[in-house]
Amino acid sequence: MRKRVIPCIFLKNGMIIRSEGFKIHKIIGNPINQVKRFSDWAVDEIIYIDITTYGEYHNKRSDHKIKIEDNKIKLLQEISKNVFVPLGFGGGIRSINDIRDYLQNGADKVVLNSILYHKSEMVQEAAGIFGSQALVGMVDYKDGYVYFENGKLKSEYLVEDWCKRIIEFGIGEIILHDISRDGKGEGYDVETISQIVNSSNIPIIGLGGAGDYFDLVECFKNANPSGLGIGNLLHFKEHSYYYAKQLLLKSKIDVRKEWGVF
């Protein structure tokens, strides 16, 4: 399969945020506006992760003309109306019904994190109901250890051990998210990504640290993941997706050549 470049967008209280150190969150935009841009660009795939703590879905800023829906499912429905590529959505999932709600309201894949740690048997049941292809495991880590609850809960698991464990649960894909690199633009954790790619039999996506298009080239060449997620790079550089794909093609990385309107 061709390598994927995937916009990974974090949401809080219904708005897109720029995250730094997985602690500092700055509102930077409206998800409805942004998803229309991504669709115009014909991106490979889109992943939205909602990190809202209390589920407050309201627009606190008056400079956005498009109304933000007042709950997560309504927001997902609105986003999915404007998406014509595979859509992943995650955050706040605590039950099989939550997974079902996401899949029935526009998500092609559901991204799981803390439920993997707290309710592993439920995840195995969900894999039997919805299929592994519908379940993505988000592995937040730093300093070699896996974290949960938006990076607040350090677990006893090392990254490689945890990835092997959730593959046994029936997860169909893993996003490796180095939260220590979040928002810093220092490049991907090539060593860990390469380690997990070589020890896994499912697609691995690297996330965290992209500050320049060359970071993607380096990681694809040296770690060989199935895809790479980008976040802040998309928000602050004009036509960033187009230029990223152009450089990857010039660097002989096998990515999809077709793009939308720029």
Write down the pTM of the prediction: 0.91
Q: Taking 60 as the threshold, does the pLDDT of residue 63 lie above it?
A: no
163-172 residue pLDDT tens:
999 999 999 9
- The domain in which residue 130 lies consists of 4-250
- The verdict on residue 258 lying in a domain is no
Q: Please count the CA atoms within 13 angstroms of the CA of 46 that sit on its side-chain side.
A: 28
77-94 pLDDT, tens digit each: 999 998 888 999 999 899
On whether residue 257 sits in a domain, the answer given is no
| Model pLDDT, residue 127 | 97
CATH code of the domain containing 19: 3.20.20.70
Condensed to tens digits (0 to 9), the pLDDT of residues 213-223 reads 999 999 999 99
Structure tokens at 110: 């559901």
Domain total of the chain: 1
Mean model confidence pLDDT for the chain: 88
Q: Is the pLDDT of residue 258 over 60?
A: yes
Supply the angle between the helices 31-41 and 240-250 in degrees, to the nearest 10: 30
Q: Residue 167 domain-assigned?
A: yes
Distances in Å between the alpha carbon of 99 and those of 2, 111, 112, 129, 182? 28, 9, 9, 10, 26
pLDDT at 238: 67
- Angle at which helix 72-81 crosses helix 31-41, to 10 degrees, equals 30
Sign, CA torsion 208/111/121/124 = negative
Query: Do the domain assignments include residue 255?
Result: no
